[in-house]
Structure 1
Amino acid sequence: MALQIAIGVFAHSQALVADGIHSLADLISDFVVLFANRHSGAKPDADHNYGHSRYETVASLFLGALLIAVGVGMLWRAGTRLADLDNIPAVHLSALFVAVLVLFSKEGLFRYMLREAQRVRSAMLIANAWHARSDAASSLVVALGILGSLAGVRLLDPIAAAIVGFMVARMGWMFGWDALQDLSDRALDEAATADMRALLLSTPGVRDVHELRTRKMGDFALVDAHILVDPLISVSEGHYIAESARLRVLSDNRVLDALIHVDPENDAVAHPPVGLPSRERIVADVNAALATVGLKAAAVNIHYLSTGLDVEVVLPAQSLRDDGRESMGALQRVDLAALKRRLGARKLDLLREVDTPSAQSGSSTQTGAGADRYKSTVPHGTS
């Protein structure tokens, strides 16, 4: 770098000076890359809940801006030299030797950096390696320009400097634009998004996937998705399916984190009616109706669906000594149709739990809410 600039000034080669300035910009950018790479792997904290992966993206944006500024400066300087062709000085032979030496050095650096970047799987380091390859290409242009100038075509040296400036500015634009897209939550490409969808759909219990969204976070991605499950399963089963789907997505090494939302129906096209009663009101009304005949619900299962409100009332298990005729007669005195209208329900089902002998004590046990139950046909039941 210092050798390029010093020899470039001594040998009157603007192209070599431009390449030296380019190398100086590279050195600054490498320090930025090193700083960002060291800090981007830090664990999430109170201020950065998703980690620090975007440090790399910000560093890439800074690197792009730096390269654009350097490239534009080179173009400006080459343009002023080309505007005064009569005063272009002759280039000394030493400039060619330095340009060739730098060319081979940069090509070797590119190969080493690319190998290490692929080993640690860092997009920023890979980009920096290819930047080193562009440096080698610019040094090749410089060497050819100097060679042409030594052959008597003096304008080739400032032309080579202008080409280097254009290459540097173009590379800066590519880095900066790519980083800007990632900072504005660019999604994964279509193939990667299709892979995420396939992972979700392969999860047992997932019927469909909608509102699948992704966004880049450094070298990784965040995934949000809604999964469709059976609308009549329990909350715990729905959560288990969602967590299983999330772990499948996280098994992809491109994913940093995933947020899975469970839907009983596709809420992109179907929504439950508004103004439906809350659980507290439904349970209170059900128990108030049953209390008139001395009964109380063991559990109330509520399903808010686009088709309306479905309510399942689970009655306590009957004693083995009771044939149930008394309670069945009591249920006939409950106006279930009026209860259904009061709740605004589309469907109202009555179910009865069944006593089962305990394997250890022989005592009766009660099945939990949401477990398999024996459905009894209840007079006046309405659906």
Structure 2
Amino acid sequence: MANTNQYDAGRNIQIDRQHRLSKLQEASQITWVNLSAYSAIMVAELIIGYLAQITVLIADGLNNLTGVCGAAILIIGLKMSKRPPDSNHVMGHWQYENIAALLSATIMFAVSIQIFVDGVFAVQRFLAGHTIRPNDWSLGVSIIAAIIIGILARFNKTKGIQLKNQALTASGQDLKSDAWTSFGTFLSIGGAYLGAQWLDGVATLIVGCLILHSSISIFRTTIMRLSEGFDPKDIQRYSETISAIPGVLGIEGIEPRWLGDQIVMKIGIYLDDDTDLKTAYAIGEKVEHNLMEKYDILDADVMSYPVSQKDNPHSAD
């Protein structure tokens, strides 16, 4: 149950907050590494791409530009998420993580459309007889980009799972998509190097579609969180955990929601009609404690109702 005391359901609030903030700090440091790698690769690909007039390499560079923007936005979002609660944000500023992800997805969506348009023009130039001249530099930078981004993808995903940070886990998925995009860029440049000139435009269109797919995926997840959506399977798991606690005779309702990467929820439970206030409070604390221990939720408000009101549709009014 939410309170302003030092302890909440047996958990030291200040220590818990510092623990969560330390995980955000580590996630922020990893994101700085992502930003540095993306920036170096983007600059190299765009310079070589424009000099050699290789549309697919330019497209990959623009794709990595979205990585630069996304990493920068995420760093800002993580920094703002670490702000302490205030009168306007009594549960803290965790939601800035989701806002940062939404802004990043918006940039990815816009860039994917631009890349798709560039791909159409590249196909038109091929049909008009225009040829490109790939060089060793273009081949080298594309395969190096694929290797570096692939390593970062695995690292981000591993640390995201370890830190239970959805932003890093999602970043790992995005990096994995970018690694495959860079590898596809390498193959298309190699094909053009061997004479398959049509690969430049076609590969650019494919890159645009991949980025569009990634942006829509991030949009879907982030909007669901910002609009109070939640996976029914997770709610069922919470219900099973609560139902197993002695004294709980039923569940009136579970209303979980996301605050950034943190979960808070309101819970209604049914207790025996003769349960005294002290016992009801202890059971409520046990419910919150078990959810904190098993699912690492941030907070839960538990309300108790007499079981005799279980079939009364107005019992929670």
TM-score normalized by structure 2?
0.80
Counterparts in 2 of 1:28 and 1:266: CA distance versus 1, 3 Å:
farther
Aligned to 1:150: 193
Match of 1:186 among 229, 234, 240: 229
Counterparts in 2 of 1:171 and 1:237: CA distance versus 1, 3 Å:
same
Cα deviation, 1:316-374, whole Å, max 9, x if unaligned, reads xxxxxxxxxxxxxxxxxxxxxxxxxxxxxxxxxxxxxxxxxxxxxxxxxxxxxxxxxxx
Q: 2:276 aligned with 1:234, yes or no?
A: yes
Cα deviation, 1:58-108, whole Å, max 9, x if unaligned, reads 111111111111111100111122123224322222322221222222222
- The aligned runs of 1:106-185 (5 Å cut-off) are 106-185=149-228
Q: 2:64 aligned with 1:23, yes or no?
A: yes
Q: 2:238 aligned with 1:196, yes or no?
A: yes
Could you tell me whether the CA contact under 8 Å between 2:132 and 2:192 is conserved in 1?
yes
- The aligned runs of 1:80-119 (5 Å cut-off) are 80-84=121-125, 85-94=127-136, 95-119=138-162
Counterparts in 2 of 1:234 and 1:103: CA distance versus 1, 3 Å:
closer
Q: Shift of the alpha carbon at 1:231?
A: 1.1
How far apart, in 2, do the equivalents of 1:201 and 1:22 lie? 48
Aligned to 1:77: 118
Counterparts in 2 of 1:54 and 1:267: CA distance versus 1, 3 Å:
farther
Aligned to 1:377: none
How far apart, in 2, do the equivalents of 1:68 and 1:58 lie? 15
Q: Shift of the alpha carbon at 1:206?
A: 1.6
How far apart, in 2, do the equivalents of 1:54 and 1:87 lie? 52
Counterparts in 2 of 1:90 and 1:249: CA distance versus 1, 3 Å:
closer
How far apart, in 1, do the equivalents of 2:160 and 2:314 lie? 51
Q: 2:80 aligned with 1:39, yes or no?
A: yes
What is the aligned residue count? 272
Aligned to 1:57: 98
Aligned to 1:256: 298
Consecutive unaligned residues of structure 2, counting only runs of 5 or more, are 1-41
- The aligned runs of 1:186-225 (5 Å cut-off) are 186-190=229-233, 192-225=234-267
Could you tell me whether the CA contact under 8 Å between 2:292 and 2:299 is conserved in 1?
yes
Could you tell me whether the CA contact under 8 Å between 2:249 and 2:307 is conserved in 1?
no
Partner amino acid for 1:206?
Answer: V
Cα deviation, 1:115-146, whole Å, max 9, x if unaligned, reads 33333221101111221111110011111111
Partner amino acid for 1:244?
Answer: K
Cα deviation, 1:202-225, whole Å, max 9, x if unaligned, reads 323221112222222222322222
TM-score normalized by structure 1?
0.67
C-alpha RMSD over aligned residues: 2.0
How far apart, in 1, do the equivalents of 2:58 and 2:182 lie? 11
Could you tell me whether the CA contact under 8 Å between 1:12 and 1:89 is conserved in 2?
no
Give the 3-state SS of the residue equivalent to 1:47 in structure 2.
coil
The structure with the largest helix share of the pair is 2
How far apart, in 1, do the equivalents of 2:264 and 2:110 lie? 33
Percent identity reads: 21
How far apart, in 1, do the equivalents of 2:155 and 2:280 lie? 50
Cα deviation, 1:281-337, whole Å, max 9, x if unaligned, reads xxxxxxxxxxxxxxxxxxxxxxxxxxxxxxxxxxxxxxxxxxxxxxxxxxxxxxxxx
Could you tell me whether the CA contact under 8 Å between 1:123 and 1:219 is conserved in 2?
yes
How far apart, in 2, do the equivalents of 1:53 and 1:156 lie? 44
Q: Which has the higher contact order (CA 8 A, sep 6+)?
A: 2
Partner amino acid for 2:67?
Answer: D
